Amino acid sequence: MRKNSVKNSRINGEVQRVLAEVIRGEIKDPRISPMTSVVAVEVAPDLKNCKAYISVLGNEEAQKDTLAGLRSAEGFIRTRLAKAVNLRNTPQLHFVIDQSIAYGVNMSRRIDEVMADQNAKKGEDVEHEDLGGTEGEQ
């Protein structure tokens, strides 16, 4: 089975859905942030390993605590995954913090700052042109 086959894509989507449900509703570990989401899942073609990319809204400490909580609950999560998704093998889970959402928000904020600076400079240029044009006519 190729890594990007239709079957593998469907398995990735189903595993992602089940992981999100389990993390959101079934795990009672206080270390896991309530603002945790499963961004993406990559199940290996042999169904032995699974990388789950997790996004946590909060500071670095909240991310580390959530990752530790998920790793300690891995057995429980695998059991729920095995019951919900009928696969030949239940994959070994590897949780990875995904920074793409935070990176996107940061880049968007920077773009907004640059645009605000450019608009402010354009406003200053227009004011200087208006003043210069009226002085030359007198």
Which CATH number belongs to the domain containing residue 39 in this structure?
Answer: 3.30.300.20
Domain that holds residue 65: 1-98
Q: Is 58 helix (H, G, I), strand (E, B) or coil?
A: coil
For residues 63 and 8, give the distance between their C-alpha atoms in angstroms, rounded to a whole number: 28
Going by C-beta distance under 8 Å and a sequence separation of 6 or more, which residues neighbour residue 3?
Answer: 45
Segments of the chain scoring below 50 in pLDDT: 136-138
Q: Is 72 in the same domain as 130? A: no
Q: Is 133 in the same domain as 71? A: no
Model pLDDT, residue 80: 93
Q: Is 90 in the same domain as 118? A: no
Going by C-beta distance under 8 Å and a sequence separation of 6 or more, which residues neighbour residue 73?
Answer: 27, 29, 32
Q: Is 132 in the same domain as 91? A: no
Q: Model's pTM, two decimal places?
A: 0.70
Q: Is 104 in the same domain as 93? A: no
Q: Is 32 in the same domain as 81? A: yes
Model pLDDT, residue 119: 86
Model pLDDT, residue 79: 92
Termini Cα distance of the chain? 81
Packed helices 74-84 and 6-25: angle between N→C axes, nearest 10 degrees: 130
Q: Is 42 in the same domain as 13? A: yes
Q: Is 85 in the same domain as 75? A: yes
Model pLDDT, residue 133: 52
Q: Is 59 in the same domain as 88? A: yes
Q: Is 90 in the same domain as 44? A: yes
- CA-to-CA separations, 91 to 1, 51, 72, 88, 124, in angstroms, rounded: 16, 9, 16, 9, 60
Model pLDDT, residue 20: 93
